[in-house]
């Protein structure tokens, strides 16, 4: 008596469902990684902004007070020379800091670098499989 083989219950359909579940799991993991990158970047930028603003405020008050001290100390003899020298100095320092800030912006690392590299690894693995 010949036995008839029944096809596996949901063979192709089960494979498609399994593959879809795996793809969704990969996508969810990558989105969670991306969300973590965004949160970390936001926290880092917020902390950096607060520190920069505090430093600029403190530095600005100190610079103004120092300039006033120098001008008052030289008020009777060379007040115009003192003011001109301070103006030149502050313009030079401002230009230097502006150049440093632009250089820092140009050399900043790419956002979401970890997420992009993980997605590239996933893509390479999918392309490598026959």
- Rounded to whole angstroms, what are the CA distances from 75 to 61, 71, 89, 96, 122? 21, 6, 18, 29, 70
Percentage of the chain modeled with pLDDT above 90: 1
d(CA 10, CA 14): 5
Given a contact cutoff of 8 angstroms between Cβ atoms, the answer to whether 57 and 65 are in contact is no
Specify the higher pLDDT residue, 55 or 120. Answer: 55
Give 9-34 pLDDT, tens digit per residue: 568 888 888 888 888 888 888 888 88
Say what the pLDDT of residue 106 is: 84
Residue 6 has pLDDT above 70, yes or no: no
d(CA 41, CA 76): 53
- Rounded to whole angstroms, what are the CA distances from 32 to 19, 48, 88, 110? 20, 24, 51, 18
Mean pLDDT for the chain? 81
Say what the pLDDT of residue 41 is: 85
d(CA 75, CA 83): 10
């Amino acid at each position: 008596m010949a036995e008839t083989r029944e096809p596996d219950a949901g063979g192709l359909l089960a494979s498609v469902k399994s593959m879809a579940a795996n793809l969704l799991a990969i996508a969810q993991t990558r989105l969670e990684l991306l969300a973590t990158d965004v949160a970390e970047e936001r926290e880092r930028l917020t902390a950096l902004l607060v520190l920069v603003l505090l430093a600029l405020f403190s530095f600005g008050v100190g610079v103004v007070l120092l300039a006033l001290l120098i001008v008052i100390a030289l008020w009777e003899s060379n007040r115009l020379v003192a003011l001109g020298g301070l103006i030149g100095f502050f313009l030079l320092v401002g230009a230097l800091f502006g150049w440093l800030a632009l250089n820092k912006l140009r050399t900043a690392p790419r956002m979401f670098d970890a997420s992009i590299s993980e997605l590239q690894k996933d893509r390479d693995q999918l392309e490598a499989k026959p």
